[in-house]
Amino acid sequence: MQKILRTLIIIAMLITSYLLVLAWRDDYTNKPVSVKQPVATQGVNDVPNATGGDVPVVGGATPVMASDVSGGLIDVLTDRYEIKINPVGGDIVYAGLKQYDATLDSSERFALLESEQGRTYVAQSGLAGQDGIDTNAGRAIYQSPRSSYDMAGTAVLTVPLIHEKDGITITKTYTFKAGEYPINVAYNINNTSDKVWQGNMYAQLKRDGSSDPGLDNKGMMGMPTYLGGAWGVPNEPYNKLKFKNFNDAKLNVVSNDGWVGVVQHYFVSAWTPGNFDGQFYSRESGGEHFIGFNSPAIVVPAGKQMTIDATLYAGPKVQDEMAGVATGLEKTVDYGIFWPISKPMFLILEALHKILGNWGWAIVGLTLIVKIALFWLSNKSYVSMAKMRAIAPKLEALKEKHGDDRMAMSQAMMQLYRDERVNPMAGCLPILLQMPIFLGLYWCLVESVELRHAPWILWIKDLSAMDPWFILPIIMMATMYVQQLLNPQPTDPMQAKMMKIMPLIFGVFMLFFPAGLVLYWTVNNLFSMAHQQFVNKRVEKAYNKPVKVLSD
């Protein structure tokens, strides 16, 4: 029975390690493709089509020649964003998130969208189709009343971009709201000509194959999370589409309550259509990936005008903020198959953080809550293991008595367990129960942007990254070793050696995992040691209690 017990513990740890490695390999690594060098006039030929360029083909597009001079970028400053808009196409070519630093202790803000320094990741939108102003021959050039806009304490900031040609005035308006990441992008087509105007709105994200900048400071092994396309509709709220599959598994879905975007570590950018059925699409061309949607045909009679809009979310994967944008967008916080554990754990962590003001202490509090929740089962296990320690001399005596007679030894040992009311399998419970919790917390730490660059104490400045000095993993190894000394030791010499090196194996593996995860495991070990030591002393006292002899 002891062999089975030890084997199950080892298997549980190895399965945990194997699942984490599989997650890295199968779902969360993307080999970067070659990156095209940025061009100063990026956005000039951004009309999507099936053969090249950026503008999607819709209807019978007629090429419209446009100047390739972008002029200066339009600067927009809000309480959440630092935005740069290219007048050519009116695309957002830079989006810096003011509430998030680029790297730990950096004075620079995190750039989600950008088109420089060897990286292209921009949010594009326009009007294509029969009379569209964006084609492969060139993008529309917009004029704006000002070259810079500042929210400066106002609740709403609008940035109008105007394009006029042949009696058609098109006003592309960005609307930013204080305290919000969603950006409304509206097109007003005012037809003062004597002809019917017809076109289609498109909105897409254009990204090269560069690596995820959110992993720059994650240590030598990092923690690669999913980088690629994604989309959702009400009946299928979250679906991944890897960059390498943009052409092979082309997206072809229609929805007026869905979203399409690009997901990376902690952040997401996504378009969602307004009150129309968007035709979702994806494609890859020249090492650049496009994912977006087209609107149905927009028909504006002579002397009339029409407005069509969409929403762009470009920000952190904060579930409460994404939930109201589109159905399923909040599911980009992807806990995988462990979401039934990770989701409640995050809610508990969030509640504890509001009270304690520190995510590290929140993890300590979560560990205590888990220990209390599992107290009854853990206590039974520790009592059983304590009894195993107490009857160890009797087991040794049986071993000497029966020698190499394994059958007799097994029968005598089982009888001893029954007499002493010991269940050797009960020792598996603490570790087996901790495994799914351990994995759930792993995904909670990896996916929750709230813990990005979250400090604890002293040298731990980022609970989502590995311990830079490996102090916590070393402490964890020590606690695992001490905890083993409190357990009954295996009678089999080979198993005894295996159990002794398990803390070292597991500790080395944990060197490169988030400090928050190592903190949880270390604190869990400390609580378990205290509980087990208390139980051991109580059981030993009961076994060593002198028996009173009744006199005549």
Cβ–Cβ < 8 Å for 1, 413: yes
Supply the Cα-derived Rg of the chain in whole angstroms. 31
Structure tokens at 23: 């997650």
Helix 515-543 to helix 493-510 angle (10° resolution) is 150
Q: Which residue has the higher pLDDT, 157 or 495?
A: 157
C-alpha distances in Å from residue 143, one per residue of 73, 90, 169: 11, 9, 11
The CA distance from 103 to 120, in Å, is 19
506 — pLDDT class (breaks 50, 70, 90): confident
User: Quick check: 539 pLDDT over 70?
Assistant: yes
Distance of CA 419 to the CA centre of its chain: 52
- pLDDT tens figures, 179-214: 999 999 999 999 999 999 999 999 999 999 888 876
User: pLDDT confidence of 6, banded at 50, 70, 90?
Assistant: very low
CB 331 within 8 A of CB 237: yes
Report how far residue 146's alpha carbon sits from residue 289's, in angstroms, rounded to the nearest whole number.
Answer: 32
Q: What is the DSSP string of 174-229?
A: EEEETT---EEEEEEEEE-SSS-EEEEEEEEEEE-S---GGGTTS-SS------EE
Q: Among 46-60, 268-282, 510-524, where is mean pLDDT lowest?
A: 46-60
Percent of the chain with pLDDT over 70: 80
Q: Decide if 462 contacts 469 (C-beta within 8 A).
A: no
414, two tokens: 């089982």
74-334 classified as CATH 3.40.50.800: no
Q: Looking at this protein, which amino acid is placed at residue 254?
A: V
Closest CA to 70 of 102, 112, 38: 38
The pLDDT-based confidence of 60 (bands split at 50, 70, 90) is: very low
Give 426 or 294, the one with higher predicted confidence: 294
Tokens read off for 41: 């006039």
Q: Rounded to 5 degrees, what angle do the CA atoms 144, 97, 283 make? A: 75
Q: What is the pLDDT of residue 114?
A: 94
Backbone angles phi, psi at 214, to 5 degrees: -70, -10
Q: Residue 83: what are its φ and ψ, rounded to 5°?
A: -115, 145
DSSP code per residue over 416-475: HHHHHT--GGGGGHHHHHHHHHHHHHHHHHHH-GGGTT---STT---TTSB-TT-HHHHH
Closest C-alpha among 169, 88, 167 to residue 126? 88
pLDDT in tens, 449-499: 999 999 999 899 999 888 889 999 999 999 988 887 777 666 566 666 777
DSSP string, 303-343: T-EEEEEEEEEEEE--HHHHTTTSTTGGGGS--GGGHHHHH
| pLDDT confidence band for 65 (50 / 70 / 90) | very low
Q: For residue 271, give the 3-state DSSP assignment.
A: strand
> Is the pLDDT confidence value at 426 over 90?
no
Distance CA 370, CA 531 (A): 14
417-440: average pLDDT = 72
**Cα distance between residue 520 and residue 416, in whole Å:** 37
Instruction: Identify which of 84-93, 251-260, 432-441 has the greatest average pLDDT.
Output: 84-93
Distance CA 84, CA 123 (A): 11
Dist CA 371 CA 529 (whole Å):
12
- Pairing label, strands 267-273, 259-263: antiparallel
Q: Is residue 392 within 8 Å of 400, Cβ to Cβ?
A: no
Tokens describing residue 165: 């040609």
Identify the band that residue 550 occupies on the pLDDT scale cut at 50, 70 and 90: very low
Instruction: Output the pLDDT for position 303.
Output: 94
Confidence of residue 390 (pLDDT cuts 50, 70, 90): confident
Which amino acid is located at 434 in the chain?
Q
3-state SS class at 248: coil
**For residue 28, is pLDDT > 80?**
no
Judge contact between 335 and 447, C-beta under 8 A. Answer: yes
Tell me which of 216 and 289 has the higher pLDDT.
Answer: 289
The ranges assigned to domains in the chain are 74-334, 347-544
- Which tens digits make up the pLDDT trace of 129-152? 999 999 877 899 999 999 999 999
Per the CB < 8 A criterion, the answer to whether 163 and 146 are in contact is no
